[in-house]
Structure 1
Amino acid sequence: MIIFEKKGQGKPLILIHGFCESKEMWITFSEELAKSHTVYCIDLPGFGASPLQRDSITLEEVAVMLHDWMEENRIDHPTVIGHSLGGYVTLALAELMGNGLTAIGLFHSTAFPDDAEKKKTRNKTITFIKKHGVDKFIDSFVPPLFSEQHRITYKDKIEELTALGKKSSKKGVLAYLAAMRDRKDRMEVWKNFNGKKLMIAGVLDGAVKIEGSRMHKPFTDDYFELQEVGHMGMFEAEQETLTLLQEFLKKPG
């Protein structure tokens, strides 16, 4: 079951949160974007209010769940924008649905799979959470998502996101760590998608390196780099990224 919030009228737009996040992260964006679109903010299974009934899951399985959910709710040819993990899900959905999507966007995300170093980090995190639990992990996970110079400025937002992250189920966190670790290369999906494509990257992003983001640029309609921004541009550069989304959505395609 996919729990979601729906706002506005117009062409459908689906916003997908990242790892240890939930639909609440899009509140400011959804209110503005709902002035021109029907905006759906979802909780991925295992996060927020959407339950995960199993101990493991693949991104392909998540994509099938979202496709079924779209059919149930008669959501036709949406634009899908995903943050981080949400971008990985967006690409799995694009692979599954192809022209069934109007446009896609990667918000601090990538079409590349984890490299060997990242896989090791995922495995260490899995071991840590099994031993120490989700709360202790979230305390150390959220602050570095923001660039170093923003961690004081956005202290309240970091505390808010930390509290939301601690609502994530241990089962869901462990399942998605493995799913992200094992996801396949979807650069060909990105290259060959026929609809509009948006990428927003943070120059100081420690989770998705800017060098990798730049390799997507030749295959991207709208590519933007945010200076002095880490992994959380929707907060670190709220108005700028909202405007970029609004302009992207206005373009025909």
Structure 2
Amino acid sequence: MQEYISYKNIQIAFTVEGKGKTIVLLHGFLESSTILKNVVSAFKETHQLVTIDLLGHGKTEKLGYIHSMETMAETVHAVLAELKIEKASIIGHSMGGYVALAFAEKFPQQLEKLILLNSSTVADSEERKENRDRAKRLVKQNKQAFISMAIKNLFTYENRNALRTEIDALVEEAVQLPEENIIASVEGLKNRKDRTEILQQYSGEKIIIAGKNDPVVPFKEIEAIAEKTNSTFISFEDGHMSYLENKVELLKVLNELF
């Protein structure tokens, strides 16, 4: 059931299912808390699953002109405080991974396991920042075309056909987002800092899951980060959307971790 808390005069949307140790699921850019529903279904008999709509996504409102990773981490902390959860594991997909890293920096004592799914610790390169600025212009010119292209390009070429129904559903949900919400998150992504050292210093269990053909997070780069930060490294064959492209394999890995 959808629940809400008030945070700095806006509503943060979240759901809670199951009982046991807590797993928090954080979605990526242009997604919502519904993306990992198969993980919720698989674990709700043994764990408490908390899914959160990050700022400006799903049913959570916009907060200011920039949705920084730090501010989003604070909203996650606020939800856990409301639920009186003292310790939780976090699975963060893409942007959700950046938020999880910001959470690890601000609230390390509350974190049990940190799982980065198709995510990274590094900041945007100058080229990537230019691409973010281009994205903001595209959103203003034609939001629907931008969203359709952005989501489709996260999948491998083969999976764009095989998972057409799922892609269409993601696009349909994302086009409901107001233009200013999308731009606020693009700004937050563009300005995020490098948190490789934060992951390196984090003493809890840390896992990085990557796609060998991820068009967003370079595989070799993330493999090197895993080694540098002493993180367990797990790879799948496909792209940036492992929760759809490698659904069965991902659940198998999570079953072993939890």
TM norm structure 1: 0.94
Residue 220 of structure 1 and its aligned partner are, at CA, apart by: 4.0
Query: 1:94-243 counterparts in 2 under 5 A?
Result: 94-132=104-142, 134-218=143-227, 219-227=229-237, 229-243=238-252
- Counterpart residue number, 1:30: 40
Find 1:60's aligned residue among 22, 46, 70: 70
Output one character per residue of 1:135-174: Cα deviation in whole Å (capped at 9) or x when no partner: 2211111111111111111111111111111122212210
| 1:86 is the counterpart of 2:96 | yes
Aligned equivalents of 1:91, 1:232: Cα separation in 2: 19
Question: What secondary structure sits across from 2:107 in the alignment?
Answer: helix
Question: What secondary structure sits across from 2:193 in the alignment?
Answer: coil
Identify if the C-alpha distance between structure 1 residues 110 and 212 changes in structure 2 by more than 3 Å, giving closer, same or farther: same
Question: What secondary structure sits across from 2:161 in the alignment?
Answer: coil
Question: What secondary structure sits across from 1:6 in the alignment?
Answer: strand
Write out the 4+ residue segments of structure 1 that deviate beyond 6 Å after TM superposition.
Answer: none
The residue type paired with residue 103 of structure 2 is L
Aligned equivalents of 1:212, 1:166: Cα separation in 2: 31
Question: What secondary structure sits across from 2:189 in the alignment?
Answer: helix
8 A Cα contact 2:55 2:67, kept in partner: no
Question: What secondary structure sits across from 2:249 in the alignment?
Answer: helix
| 1:43 is the counterpart of 2:49 | no
Residue 195 of structure 1 and its aligned partner are, at CA, apart by: 0.8
Aligned equivalents of 1:197, 1:68: Cα separation in 2: 23
Output one character per residue of 1:1-21: Cα deviation in whole Å (capped at 9) or x when no partner: 321111111100000000000
Question: What secondary structure sits across from 1:49 in the alignment?
Answer: coil
Aligned equivalents of 2:191, 2:226: Cα separation in 1: 24
- Counterpart residue number, 2:7: none
- Counterpart residue number, 1:74: 84
Aligned equivalents of 2:248, 2:80: Cα separation in 1: 29
The residue type paired with residue 107 of structure 2 is M
Aligned equivalents of 2:236, 2:67: Cα separation in 1: 32
Aligned equivalents of 2:230, 2:169: Cα separation in 1: 33
Percent identity for Structure 1 against Structure 2 = 28
8 A Cα contact 1:199 1:220, kept in partner: no
Aligned equivalents of 1:51, 1:15: Cα separation in 2: 18
The count of corresponding residues between Structure 1 and Structure 2 is 247
Aligned equivalents of 2:112, 2:218: Cα separation in 1: 27
Question: What secondary structure sits across from 1:152 in the alignment?
Answer: helix
Aligned equivalents of 2:78, 2:158: Cα separation in 1: 42
The residue type paired with residue 194 of structure 1 is S
The residue type paired with residue 120 of structure 1 is E
Which sections of structure 2, spanning at least 5 residues, go unmatched? 1-10
The residue type paired with residue 88 of structure 2 is P
The residue type paired with residue 157 of structure 1 is E
RMSD of aligned residue pairs (Cα, Å): 1.2
Which sections of structure 1, spanning at least 5 residues, go unmatched? none
8 A Cα contact 1:47 1:169, kept in partner: no
8 A Cα contact 2:24 2:90, kept in partner: yes
